[in-house]
Amino acid sequence: MAGKFELKKAKDGQFMFNLKASNGQVILTSELYKQKSSAENGIESVRKNAGREGAFETRTNAKGEPYFILKATNGQEIGRSEYYSGNAALENGIASVKKNAPDAKVDDTTI
């Protein structure tokens, strides 16, 4: 089973998506979009940027847990990961996005 994008509506009516690995685990979560078409453009941006050198920025939260942000060429955030237990898990998460994003199908749950 391949990875997939899950496009859905948030509680407030805005749109967002998750990129899930083949095991169903969420590996990237988007921001909220007012328009469905904007969320769909975000998915295409993840596909395009996932393999780009320098697209991933790693950070740590206040508890010292690492996470990553996927950025477009203009520097805008496209999506971010969960918080990881350590850097090895973080690197695995980035590798999973690079592997799954380009060919992931879209599961549109908004219709």
Q: What percent of the chain has pLDDT over 70?
A: 99
Provide the domain count of the chain: 1
Contact 56, 69 (CB under 8 A): yes
- What is the span of the domain harbouring residue 55? 4-108
Q: Is the pLDDT of residue 78 over 90?
A: yes
Per-residue pLDDT tens over the stretch 17-37: 999 998 999 999 999 999 999
Cβ atoms within 10 Å, residue 98 = 15
- CATH number of the domain enclosing 101: 2.30.29.80
pLDDT digits (tens, 9 = 90+) for 79-107: 999 999 999 999 999 999 999 999 999 99
pLDDT band at 1 (very low <50, low <70, confident <90, very high): low
Confidence of residue 2 (pLDDT cuts 50, 70, 90): confident
Helix (H) or strand (E) holding 94: helix 87-100
